[in-house]
Copies of this chain bind each other. A is one copy, B any other.
Amino acid sequence: MIVNVTFNGEYNPADFPPFAVTTDLVILTVRPPSLEVLLVERAEEPFAGSWALPGGFVGPEQDLSDAAGATLTDKTGIELDTAHLEQLATFGSPARDPRMRVVSVAYLAMVANPPPAAAGRDAAAAEWQPVSSARATTLAFDHADVLEAGVERARAKLEYTTLATSFCAPEFTMAELRTVYETVWGIALDPPNFHRKVLGSAGFVEPTGRTATQAKGRPAKTYRAGPATTLTPPLAR
């Protein structure tokens, strides 16, 4: 039996070798036909030259969500109140960072129409990449697992929450919202049925009264996000 696993009152927490705590972000956006994720190219060891999820160490007096929010605004240039940010999962395998014991609290962000990525101070480059490409890359640390968890969370949440709207501009058409679903899920949805189900889900979207002219065809009515956060019933995948 491992004896020093459980805090038994005789152990002073400060006696333990220190952990470092970081946040890593899976920042997703929809750029049809791809779901894209923001990656940074690491400038320093370990994994110098590898692509990685943006992130950083948590300050000694800093809240976890503040650290994630700071990274999000720093890397994307996006205001916090226009993006969705939620905690994803925590990765703490003893071997995940060769320097020392590092526990990473991963966050998932969903943003709409981000400006082009710019390399920050700590990265050689930053780039929006299709998730399919990112999966084919060897990412630093255990970031492939983190990315997978983030994409799966996003997929699932579109089913039973209204979060798809956070991938859209403040004003959007039904086709744009549908394209978000089709891009994230990688399947085609029936436009008439999608239309009916979204409008039938109370508080999902509300009409603006305006229309958006298309390149071809009938202009589309525009909507903004409604007050609802959960979808009952869920939107079937």
Report the interface size class on chain A: 35 or more
Chain B residue numbers with a CB within 8 Å of A12 are 99
Query: Interface readout for A7-20 with B: 1 if CB under 8 Å, 0 if not?
Result: 11101111011111
Kindly state whether residue A150 has any CB partner on chain B within 8 Å: no
Complex formed: what's the CA distance from A89 to B63 in Å?
A: 14
Residues A101 and B8 in contact, CB atoms below 8 Å apart: no
Q: By CB atoms of chain B within 10 A, which of A4, A5, A56, A58 has the most?
A: A5
* A interface secondary structure, majority: loop
Kindly provide the distance from the CB of A87 to the nearest chain B CB, expressed in whole angstroms: 6
A8–B122 CB distance below 8 A: yes
Kindly report which residue of chain B lies nearest to residue A237, judged by CB atoms: B232
Contact across chains for A16 and B6 when beta carbons are under 8 A apart: no
Q: Are B16 and A60 closer than 8 Å at their CB atoms?
A: yes
Given the interface pairs A19-B21, A63-B93, the reply to whether A102 lies near B13 with Cβ below 8 Å is yes
Chain B residues with CB under 8 Å of A55's CB are 7
Task: Give me 18 other A-B pairs in contact (C-beta within 8 A), A63-B94, A90-B105 excluded.
Answer: A5-B66, A5-B71, A6-B71, A7-B56, A9-B122, A13-B57, A13-B99, A16-B59, A16-B60, A18-B18, A18-B19, A19-B19, A19-B21, A21-B92, A60-B94, A63-B93, A64-B93, A234-B234
3 closest residue pairs by CB, A with B: A18-B18, A9-B44, A6-B56
